[in-house]
Structure 1
Amino acid sequence: MNSKKKNVRETVLELLETIEKNQSYSNLLLHHAIEKNYLPTKDIGLLTELTYGTLQRKMTLDFFLKPFLKKANKIESWVKNLLRLTLYQMVYLDKIPDRAAIFEAVEIAKKRGHKGIASMVNGVLRSIQREGLPSLTSIEDAAERLAIETSHPQWLIKRWIEQFGYERTKAMGEINLTAPLQTARVNTTRITREECSKRLLEEGFQLELSPIIPEAIRALKGNLASSAAFKEGLLTIQDESSMLVAYALGAAKDEMVLDACAAPGGKSTHIAEKMKNRGQVISLDLHEHKVKLINDNARRLELHNIQTRTMDSRQAAENFPPESFDRVLLDAPCSGLGVMRRKPDMKYTKKEQDIFQLSNIQRDLLESVSSLVKKGGVLVYSTCTVDREENENTVADFLKHHLDFEGDTNFKDRMPEAVRPLIIGFDLQVLPQDFGSDGFYIACLRKKV
């Protein structure tokens, strides 16, 4: 066991450093740090809050720090992260007194650096305490101000304002600064939502029933992945937006369904459950270790109608007979701009050109899997992003070059009632602020008979 335990703030500082240096995903590192440092349960909440909070608001914190760092020569990245972390507590956390946050920062600076660094850290933080923060209203350009206010890169805020307007962009930027709720899908082939909720309540979880998805629940307290119900295969951790895909696909009991980019299997298993463990879902993924995750999930949920294959879906047309599937789902690799609440560090590493590069891959995938859809069959294209280039433009381009497909406007009737008002025509863009779920896009197409 690790006898030299680090305190919470030292652990947070290490995490922030690793994320910045290695561009590692914060959610994976955080989980590892909790296990490695044997943190008491009472500290896990603070560790999560400080890590995510400092990452979420990095650009805002840097704006606040800038005037106070003018005199400081080039400072090391760990010192900058220590200042961000401490300022986050001073500005955004009511329960931690400033003096306690500053004291901790100075102690860490002494331990990791030298007296001069500790003195500089103390000086900067005391100056902020004395003089107050610079005002965001000093930024004249509205897009730039919103970018700093919500800590999103300016290129992204500008794209969103162009696509969704200022107000919806502002709402999206603001909700991206908050932690998402954990949601789960009840395995209705084995238990009802009511029975499953009752069991979870008995286990000590606090829940509410999803107002969006009839088989979903929201965790208000506790990690549902650690529940007995999860281990027994009675539920799957999945975001509510992602659950909409199986509704859009509308697979029936004895059909042949292809899930072209399936790992880790959330959508495949949902489709299989909706098919009442009948018919067949063929789930593909490029990586063998990810295909294993699909198999593990199917086994845990006791679903026998899923068959997996390791394959690049761009080669799917060469591996299956033409028109061999009633329904095909392409949940395409994307920029993931709809899940930034879960991976706040993503905001600072994405580049605008990524969107256009991904759009080419998405078009190639659609090209490949479309030939596998039977006449009269359904092709659903989905992403967990909120950008027209990867979403509406990709679908429009596909329809322009494939006159044998058309938008399936009937898909609205298959969707849960709560989301129907957002559907115009044959597609749906969910923004994070619509239901508090991930940003997600779904387009439903039908092959003409």
Structure 2
Amino acid sequence: MEGVAPAASLFRPRASVRSPVLLAADSGAARRRPGADGRSGVSRRSLEASPPGGGRSAVRKHGSTGVAPRRSGITRVPKLGPAVSTKRAGRRKDPLINLEVSHHRAAVAAVRLLRIEKGKAFVDLLNEKANDSGDNEMGYVERTLGFSTRYLEDRDIRLVTVIVAGTVRWKRYLDYLIMSLCSEEKVFREMEPLLLQILRIGFFEILKLDVPAYAAVDENVRLAKVALRPGAGNMVNAILRKLLLLKEKNSLPLPKIEGDDRAQARALSIIYSHPVWMVRRWIRFHGKDEARRLMNWNNSDPRFSLRVNTSKGYTRADLVKRLESLQVHYEESVMDEFVRIREGMQAVLQAGLLKDGMCAVQDESAGLVVSVVDPQPGDTIIDCCAAPGGKTLFMASRLSRQGKIRALDVNKGRLRILMDAAKQHSLDDMITDIHADLQLYAKETTAKYDKVLLDAPCSGLGVLSKRADLRWNRQFEDLEELICLQDELLDSASTLVKPGGILIYSTCSIDPEENEKRITTFVQRHPEFAIQSVRGYVPTEFVTDEGFYSSNPTKHSMDGAFAARLVRSML
């Protein structure tokens, strides 16, 4: 395992940095002070003379960014006991990623977290090798912090991805602990965004990752010193060491689950790091025990499925052979075209299995929706909200080169990506794209289809394990708006179904009001449609009492999804 890099090599200050430095919340409480050259005030010095424990030799009075320090609370953190030992004996090695942190990884993780909070990035694999235009992770680090880092190796990228996703996922829990360990709540409330991200990273590494304590403290302290100022590093050092002491004593401050339903939901929302409204809703629909299981699932490492591309002549056996050659562990799925993998996605990507069109990343829950559609040779099918196209491609592959699929979407860019994927999978001759709004298209067209799939826009509450940031980007009000939209889209999609044809409504949500309730109200508005059981189209374990398809993350170990099959009368 590589050790911690010498301080001299951790950051390479650039000779010219012109871009403003992102420093504080939108309130503008912290300001960018120009340097002597009238630019961003970035220090020209390296960290060579800066010892891990402190010192101002490598930074200017107000830190490398030239920002006036935010005094509030920084000196109020109580003094702690003896320093935590930094012995390096007995390190544990992880076979997949190096769990030693470094300035480089911490800096990239902190900047990405800032971008995610501002809605300018998603939690996904980093794109630090894309180009030299600055529109990549290294460019963002330089523009945000004012210095550059070395380019990350693949294992570093994987660890940054784990840290970013985990920190976002556990944000509410981490913030509660950080606030509890600050001397005053005001210290937390007025904390600079970058300082807060550094603390979140340190807390996550100490509590949720097998990162050595000395590494988590040392490297996050160093980052705070160079990215902000020495005082910020001292604050990070004090708070992280206090966390370590509490962890050793098994006395972390956590809320008690007591009081009325609202109070209990608030406590659970902190312990499991979910929005309160979401916790209350799940307790209401599923009960407290199932709500806990759902939140545990959402906080676990995401599981991925690969679907073999049968349209290019590949079989699951072919895919399994390649995975074995790559030493990627897998499980066979209930669906013949799928395999499950817990780890090894980077190996799959690097081997070109996706690029070559051998397989695609698609959750089994989405594949089972296609089973509900049941594409048959000769069918004419329209996918009404098609992009990014996973279900479209899978349906096309089941048509045996006989039949046609129309892929409709309002987003032209995403539709283009879909058609590129269709070409990659040798299915572009089976699929025709339609760039249109469904409601307008339904009013203007006279076309009718054998099968109409409406994979409706939804809350995504069934895919929270894969979308770490989604839980924080959803509000209860969003759900109410989505329900209205789902009804409108269902009404429009229904006009495209031939007499005797099939309408399939699906979501990646586990919320009854987005699922069963929408179908109940739809058939009341449209007596020409009747619910047809999905029994016989999917395994029995996925069939509800009402005849709908439903996958449950805690029961089936896959994303949550829903689908209903509705047949139109011949009249």
State the TM-score bracket (shorter-chain normalisation). Answer: over 0.9
Which blocks of at least 5 consecutive residues in structure 1 are unaligned?
none
Going from structure 1 to structure 2, the CA distance change for 1:126 and 1:226 (only over 3 Å counts) comes to closer
Going from structure 1 to structure 2, the CA distance change for 1:231 and 1:174 (only over 3 Å counts) comes to same
One of 196, 203, 207 as aligned partner of 1:87: 203
Match of 2:301 in 1: 179
Alignment check: 8 A CA contact 1:404 1:447 kept: yes
Per the TM alignment, residue 100 of structure 1 is displaced from its structure 2 partner at its CA by 1.7
Alignment check: 8 A CA contact 2:169 2:468 kept: yes
Match of 1:212 in 2: 334
More divergent stretch after superposition (113-122 vs 294-303): 113-122
The one-character-per-residue Cα deviations of 1:235-257 (angstroms, maximum 9, x if unpaired) are 12111111111100112100111
One of 489, 495, 509 as aligned partner of 1:371: 495
One of 308, 316, 324 as aligned partner of 2:441: 316
Matches of residues 408-419 of structure 1 in structure 2 within 5 Å?
408-409=532-533, 411-415=534-538, 417=539
**Large movers: runs of 4+ above 6 Å:** none
Alignment check: 8 A CA contact 2:542 2:551 kept: no
SS in 1 for 2:391: helix
User: What amino acid sits opposite 2:121 in the alignment?
Assistant: S
Per the TM alignment, residue 431 of structure 1 is displaced from its structure 2 partner at its CA by 2.4
Match of 1:442 in 2: 563
Alignment check: 8 A CA contact 2:383 2:452 kept: yes
User: What amino acid sits opposite 1:61 in the alignment?
Assistant: L
One of 234, 237, 241 as aligned partner of 1:126: 241
Match of 2:219 in 1: 104
Which blocks of at least 5 consecutive residues in structure 2 are unaligned?
1-10, 14-102, 131-135, 139-150
Tell me how far apart the structure 1 counterparts of residues 478 and 328 of structure 2 sit (CA, whole Å).
39
Q: Which has the higher helix share?
A: 1
Going from structure 1 to structure 2, the CA distance change for 1:119 and 1:98 (only over 3 Å counts) comes to same
Tell me how far apart the structure 1 counterparts of residues 317 and 420 of structure 2 sit (CA, whole Å).
26
Per the TM alignment, residue 136 of structure 1 is displaced from its structure 2 partner at its CA by 2.7
The one-character-per-residue Cα deviations of 1:143-183 (angstroms, maximum 9, x if unpaired) are 22221111000111101111111121111100101121221
One of 344, 351, 355 as aligned partner of 1:221: 344
Match of 2:464 in 1: 340
Tell me how far apart the structure 1 counterparts of residues 228 and 507 of structure 2 sit (CA, whole Å).
45
Match of 2:165 in 1: 52
Per the TM alignment, residue 365 of structure 1 is displaced from its structure 2 partner at its CA by 0.8
Match of 2:74 in 1: none
User: What amino acid sits opposite 2:378 in the alignment?
Assistant: D
SS in 1 for 2:505: strand
Match of 2:191 in 1: 75
Matches of residues 141-290 of structure 1 in structure 2 within 5 Å?
141-189=263-311, 190-202=313-325, 204-219=326-341, 220-223=343-346, 224-290=348-414
Going from structure 1 to structure 2, the CA distance change for 1:440 and 1:23 (only over 3 Å counts) comes to farther
The one-character-per-residue Cα deviations of 1:370-417 (angstroms, maximum 9, x if unpaired) are 0111122111101111212221222111111000011111x21011x3
SS in 2 for 1:329: strand
CA RMSD of aligned residues (A): 2.0
Going from structure 1 to structure 2, the CA distance change for 1:444 and 1:353 (only over 3 Å counts) comes to same
Matches of residues 325-364 of structure 1 in structure 2 within 5 Å?
325-364=449-488
Match of 2:432 in 1: 307
Tell me how far apart the structure 1 counterparts of residues 183 and 275 of structure 2 sit (CA, whole Å).
23
Tell me how far apart the structure 2 counterparts of residues 426 and 199 of structure 1 sit (CA, whole Å).
38
Match of 2:254 in 1: 136
SS in 2 for 1:217: strand
More divergent stretch after superposition (34-43 vs 9-18): 34-43
SS in 2 for 1:413: coil
User: What amino acid sits opposite 2:265 in the alignment?
Assistant: A
Greater C-alpha Rg: 2
Tell me how far apart the structure 1 counterparts of residues 370 and 350 of structure 2 sit (CA, whole Å).
25
Does residue 32 in structure 1 map to residue 147 in structure 2? no
Match of 1:426 in 2: 547
Alignment check: 8 A CA contact 2:255 2:271 kept: no
User: What amino acid sits opposite 1:22 in the alignment?
Assistant: G
Tell me how far apart the structure 1 counterparts of residues 387 and 344 of structure 2 sit (CA, whole Å).
27
User: What amino acid sits opposite 2:360 in the alignment?
Assistant: T
One of 385, 395, 401 as aligned partner of 2:525: 401
TM-score between the two structures when normalised by the length of structure 2 = 0.73
Alignment check: 8 A CA contact 1:205 1:222 kept: no
Per the TM alignment, residue 33 of structure 1 is displaced from its structure 2 partner at its CA by 4.2
